[in-house]
A and B are shown apart, each in its own frame.
Chain A
Amino acid sequence: MCLVRRQLDTRFERLDPDDEPDRDDRLIRELYEEFGGPLLRQVRQTTGNDLQWAEDVVQETLLRAWRNAPKLTWERGLLWAWLLTVSRRIVIDGRRRRGVRPREVEPPEADSIAVPDTADRTLASIVVAEALRGLSPDHREVIEQTYLRDRTVNEAAEILGIPPGTVKSRLYYALRALRAVLKERGVAN
């Protein structure tokens, strides 16, 4: 078993960075080897074609994982989810710092679900778009106003004029409903 996982599984064992510098080097190298490539592919989707930015985001994410290593006691799949979440946060925060505002001028009813050109359409994109349209309007709306428009819960709550707690609950039931449909159609596990 690799060092990363072993360490992440060792709940109460604390690392003293001064104690074993070699082990730290190895840990961060293993994080890169195991997650660097897949994470970069994911992050590039959110930074567009900005490879330099994507590489910076991956580096920052893995660094945070390394700093949090004693706390991250979850299994591999959860670590991957953690890395995805943290990298998305870093991209969103980076956009803010670059002065890119979320698009607030767009009318809420504008359709943010892309209809790709025929040539670009993948089976998954067709099925996902269809599944989204099959959700209740409330459910579809919270997914559109958060993830699909790169907004946080609080930003979406303000735009929709509902409490953040309501956005989070709706998002929860919306994702569960969406996943159930996608599972039924064979595009989610």
Chain B
Amino acid sequence: MSVFGESAHHDVAAYALGVLDLEDVQGFELHLAACAQCRVELEELRELPGLLDEVKSESHRTRQ
């Protein structure tokens, strides 16, 4: 992943949902520290996991 390519910005969505693979997390956090645009977008996407939890089926939410 390039730190400043277009694709690096796109990682913010996966990161906001907590579904970015571990090996990509550190790279994205480096990007985030340097990219004001992504920091704004992360703020904007902050509510979405909670809202999506509203429709997450019980079986997915509670399965162990």
Q: Chain A interface (Cβ within 8 Å of chain B)?
A: 42, 45-46, 48-50, 71, 73-74, 77-78, 80-81, 84-89, 92-93, 95, 98, 100, 112-114, 122, 124-125, 128-129, 132, 143, 146-154, 156, 164-165, 167-169, 171-172, 174-176, 178-179, 182, 187-189
- On whether the beta carbons of A174 and B55 are closer than 8 Å, the reply is no
Other-chain residue from B10, B16, B56, B60 in contact with A81 (beta carbon distance below 8 A): B16
List which B19-54 residues lie within 8 A (CB) of chain A.
Answer: 19-22, 24-25, 33, 39, 42-54
Interface, chain B (partner A; CB < 8 A): 7, 9-22, 24-25, 33, 39, 42-58, 60-64
Q: Are B17 and A98 in contact (CB under 8 A)?
A: no
- Collect the chain A residues with CB atoms within 8 Å of residue B43's CB: 77-78, 81
Instruction: Give complex CA distance A74, B51 in Å.
Output: 23
Q: Can you list 30 residue pairs at the A/B interface with Cβ under 8 Å?
A: A45-B53, A49-B62, A78-B43, A84-B46, A84-B49, A85-B16, A86-B18, A88-B18, A88-B19, A93-B22, A98-B64, A124-B54, A128-B55, A146-B19, A147-B56, A148-B57, A149-B60, A150-B60, A153-B14, A165-B7, A167-B14, A168-B13, A171-B13, A172-B9, A172-B13, A175-B17, A175-B48, A178-B48, A188-B48, A188-B51
